[in-house]
């Protein structure tokens, strides 16, 4: 069983007790200095990688915004096409209305001509009725001269005279009504007749409609031209975003390889037996991993949990949580067993930020107590920083630590604290092996 060490302790175990020669001591100091330099390079690489991640997020957001803009521009273009089509239809409708107006004008002219004929006929009837009255008057005079013999004829003459008077009155009424109607039809005909020198209200209205339709058509055409230019520029920006995304991916992959190389070099130096600055944290992680494994093996022996439940991967989402939390069948066990080991490790050094045990998929059932605060509904930023238990951390660092089977693993990364805040950390991880089966990894994070 490994022993606990306090930070800065000089009681590290040496391979043998032979005196260290001056040349060996100098070489050892060089190697230690090299390890520190590589660690600093790893820190810088992690910061560069984090900056690239931020830039990637911005570029991705820009790419999404460009896609949304392209969709909106396409919808606007469709609307412009619909406006142009409607404008053309409006112009054609105005022309048809003008044609129909001409037809109506012709019909009105025909009506006016017919009414003139009616008026003429009524005037002629009036003349005839006057003549009839005169004849009837003369006949009545002659009947009186004839005495009793002409009395019956006089009655007829008076009746004819009365009828002629009625006909005259009716014909005059017809002439008056027709004259009034003709005046109204003439005014209507003037409205329907197009006269450039003196446009009627109807034709003035048609002219205004035509001008409005033409203005809409011109505006739609100009808008369509501008939309074409915007579409071209949008496509150019989309290409630039894609190029930037590709360039960032190349840079990100390069920084990732560089970071991994620096971590590997520090690991190799530490594995060679040289007491690098990170070794106390590595040993602490290995010690905690061994204790966690022992506790889990004891729980299996005592029947506190079955092996199937201990290795449960059926993560069940907790409703209403953000970030998303999950539960498994081993949560109650880890809540009971893990704090004794994990909280003790926090006291090893004030540089240690957290000590947690993750299963093979990066799931943290039980975090350190200070990060096991109940979530606040609607406060994602606070939850991200303070409610870190019951969550799956399957990012690069989380999965690498959870699935590592080497004696230890060193990583450098930025920890997301929510609200755009990040903390640069180093992490020592050691595998948790339960009865020969890889359960997960112990993650010990510490600041520089």
How far apart CA 264 and CA 282 sit, in angstroms, is: 14
Q: Is 318 in the same domain as 438?
A: yes
8 lies in some domain:
no
Does 362 fall in a domain?
yes
| CA 417 from centre of chain | 26
| CA diameter of the chain | 184
- Let me know whether 305 and 218 are in one domain: no
Q: Which residues, 6+ apart, have CB-to-CB distance to 2 below 8 Å?
A: 283, 286, 287, 290
pLDDT along the chain (448 residues), means of 10: 38 39 57 59 59 62 67 69 75 71 67 71 71 71 68 68 71 75 70 65 69 75 73 72 68 62 66 79 97 98 98 97 98 98 96 97 98 95 95 94 94 74 88 98 94
Report the domain count for the chain. Answer: 2
The beta-carbon contacts of 22-28 under 8 Å, at least 24 apart in sequence, are 28/274
Domain of residue 403, CATH code: 3.30.450.20
Length of the chain: 448
**375: phi > 0 → left, psi -120 to 50 → alpha, else beta; which?**
beta
Distance CA 437, CA 440 (A): 9
- One domain for residues 102 and 202: yes
Instruction: Tell me, yes or no, whether 173 lies in a domain.
Output: yes
- 214 with 292, same domain? no
- Residue 320 has φ and ψ, to the nearest 5°, of 75, 15
Q: Edge to edge, what strands does the sheet with 421-434 contain?
A: 352-359, 437-446, 421-434, 409-418
17, part of any domain: no
Does 167 lie in the same domain as 237? yes
Same domain, 225 and 294: no
Angle at 167 between CA 163 and CA 173, to 5 degrees: 145
pLDDT at 66: 63
CA distance 395 to 305: 29
Domain boundary among 197, 232, 259: 259
From residue 29, give the alpha-carbon distance in Å to each of 24, 36, 102, 122, 266. 9, 10, 108, 136, 14
Q: Domain containing 41: what range?
A: 22-259
What is the domain-level CATH number for residue 244? 1.10.287.950
- Please tell me the predicted confidence (pLDDT) of residue 2: 40
Helix (H) or strand (E) run with residue 100 in it: helix 22-145
Distances (CA, A) of 50 to 7, 136, 241, 388, 420: 28, 124, 20, 21, 12
Q: Which of 196, 228, 259 is the last residue of a domain?
A: 259
**Cα–Cα separations (whole angstroms), residue 287 to 9, 12, 109, 284, 364:** 16, 14, 112, 5, 19
* Domain closes at, from 227, 259, 291: 259
| Residue 15 domain flag | no
253 and 330 housed in the same domain: no
Residue of 167, 176, 178 lying closest to 126 (CA atoms): 167
The answer to whether residue 329 sits within a structural domain is: yes
User: Which one-letter DSSP state was computed for residue 51?
Assistant: H
Its pTM surpasses 0.75: no
Report residue 244 as tokens. Answer: 């930037």
Other C-beta atoms lying within 10 Å of the C-beta of residue 38:
19
Residue 4 lies in a domain: no
Looking at the fold, whether 309 and 217 belong to one and the same domain comes out as no
Q: Which two tokens stand for residue 127?
A: 């003349």
In a domain, 1, yes or no: no
28 plus 167 within the same structural domain: yes
Question: Pick from 420, 362, 411: which is nearest to 46 by CA?
Answer: 411
Residues 64, 177 within the same domain: yes
Beta strands in 75-224 (DSSP E): none
Spatial distance between the Cα atoms of 61 and 446, rounded to a whole number of angstroms: 32
Whether the CB-CB separation of 174 and 93 falls below 8 Å is answered with no
């Amino acid at each position: 069983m490994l022993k606990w060490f306090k930070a800065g302790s000089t009681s590290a175990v040496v391979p043998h007790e032979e005196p260290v020669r001056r040349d060996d001591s100098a070489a050892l100091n060089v190697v230690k200095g090299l390890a520190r330099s590589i660690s600093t390079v790893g820190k810088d690489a992690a910061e560069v990688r984090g900056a690239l991640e931020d830039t990637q997020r911005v570029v991705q957001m820009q790419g999404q915004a460009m896609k949304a803009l392209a969709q909106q521009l396409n919808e606007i273009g469709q609307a412009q096409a619909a406006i142009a089509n409607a404008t053309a239809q409006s112009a054609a409708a105005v022309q048809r209305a003008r044609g129909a107006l001409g037809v109506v004008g012709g019909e009105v002219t025909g009506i006016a001509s017919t009414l003139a004929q009616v008026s003429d006929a009524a005037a002629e009837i009036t003349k005839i009725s006057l003549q009839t009255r005169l004849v009837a008057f003369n006949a009545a005079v002659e009947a009186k001269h004839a005495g009793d013999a002409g009395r019956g004829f006089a009655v007829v003459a008076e009746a004819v005279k009365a009828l002629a008077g009625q006909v005259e009155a009716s014909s005059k009424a017809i002439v008056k009504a027709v004259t009034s109607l003709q005046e109204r039809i003439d005014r209507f005909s003037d409205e329907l007749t197009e006269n450039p020198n003196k446009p009627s209200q109807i034709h003035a209205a048609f002219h205004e409609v035509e001008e409005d339709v033409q203005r809409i058509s011109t505006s739609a055409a100009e808008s369509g031209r501008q939309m074409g230019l915007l579409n071209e520029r949008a496509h150019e920006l989309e290409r630039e975003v894609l190029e930037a995304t590709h360039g960032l991916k190349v840079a990100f992959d390069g920084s990732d390889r560089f970071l991994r190389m620096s971590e590997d070099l520090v690991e190799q130096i530490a594995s060679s037996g040289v007491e690098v600055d990170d070794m106390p944290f590595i040993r602490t992680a290995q010690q905690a991993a061994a204790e966690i494994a022992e506790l889990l093996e004891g729980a299996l022996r005592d029947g506190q949990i079955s092996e199937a439940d201990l290795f449960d991967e059926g993560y069940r989402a907790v409703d209403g949580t953000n970030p998303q939390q999950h539960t498994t069948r081993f949560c109650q066990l880890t809540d009971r067993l893990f704090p004794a080991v994990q909280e003790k490790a926090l006291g090893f050094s004030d540089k240690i930020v957290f000590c947690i045990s993750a299963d093979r998929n990066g799931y943290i059932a039980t975090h350190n107590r200070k990060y096991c605060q109940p979530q606040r509904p609607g406060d994602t930023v606070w939850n991200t920083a303070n409610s870190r238990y019951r969550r799956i951390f399957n990012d690069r660092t989380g999965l690498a630590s959870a699935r590592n089977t080497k004696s230890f693993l060193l990583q450098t990364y930025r920890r997301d604290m929510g609200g755009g805040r990040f903390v640069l950390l180093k992490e020592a991880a050691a595998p948790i092996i339960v009865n020969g089966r890889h359960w997960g990894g112990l993650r010990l994070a510490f600041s520089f």
